[in-house]
Chains A and B, each alone.
Chain A
């Protein structure tokens, strides 16, 4: 049973198109994230939602719009795709995060969605 699942795993598209990546977690976690991993493996946080509410938005172009219909889902929609958007996008979830708590911070990642923009 996959804990954090993303679809699609691979996405190849032309510049200028609009695409979406879906993410679902069945762990009962309150917090979900989107991370972008570039070709050099650098992993950068994009968004974080807690109980459907946006709590982190890291200077991401507004072509990227996350949507959380419920706390188990966090989808990522990208408008007007550009070459630089090519990357692997990882969804993750965690329990409510608090410092100095042993339950904090363990992220459970999906398998990633490799986006290639031509």
Chain B
């Protein structure tokens, strides 16, 4: 069964700092990869997704992620964070053996100091 690991539980940055959140998955087959964001008190919403093609994926609000198959990784990046990026970030994956089963990582809480 696949799993998703997010090793950073809580990241604290100052505004304008660069961000990279780690995500690793365990499945060796064909996967789709996602990053979701949950702003305080709100529901999850999609930031970006990878399904095929260019491994560098651009999402909303200036976020991007790079799929590195050899490292089983899909790290999220943003060159310059804003206070409004304070949220919980979740990496997720599904695979070709069970496409409807989208598995989430444990989440990374991002706190931005104004």
Contact = CB atoms under 8 A, between A and B. Distances in A.
B14 interface: no
Contacts of A112: 43
Contact of B107 (A43, A110, A111): A43
* Interface size range of chain B in the complex: 20 to 34
A107 B102 contact: yes
Contacts of B104: 35, 42-45
Interface string B79-108: 000000000101010111011111110110
B34 A105 contact: yes
Interface in A97-113: 97-102, 104-107, 109-112
Contacts of B46: 106-107
Give the interface residue-count category, chain A: 20 to 34
Contact of A31 (B42, B98, B100): B100
Interface of A: 4, 31, 33, 35, 40-45, 48, 50, 55-56, 90, 92, 97-102, 104-107, 109-112
Contact of B88 (A41, A104, A107): A41
Contacts of B34: 105-106
18 contacts: A35-B104, A41-B109, A43-B44, A43-B90, A44-B104, A45-B101, A48-B101, A56-B98, A97-B94, A99-B94, A100-B32, A101-B51, A105-B49, A105-B51, A105-B92, A105-B94, A106-B46, A107-B102
B26 interface: no
Given A100-B30, A100-B51, A105-B32, A90 B102 contact: no
B31 interface: yes
Contact of A111 (B42, B52, B92, B101): B42
Nearest to B33: A105
B45 A41 contact: no
**Counting chain B CB atoms within 10 Å of each CB, which of A40, A41, A56 scores highest?**
A41
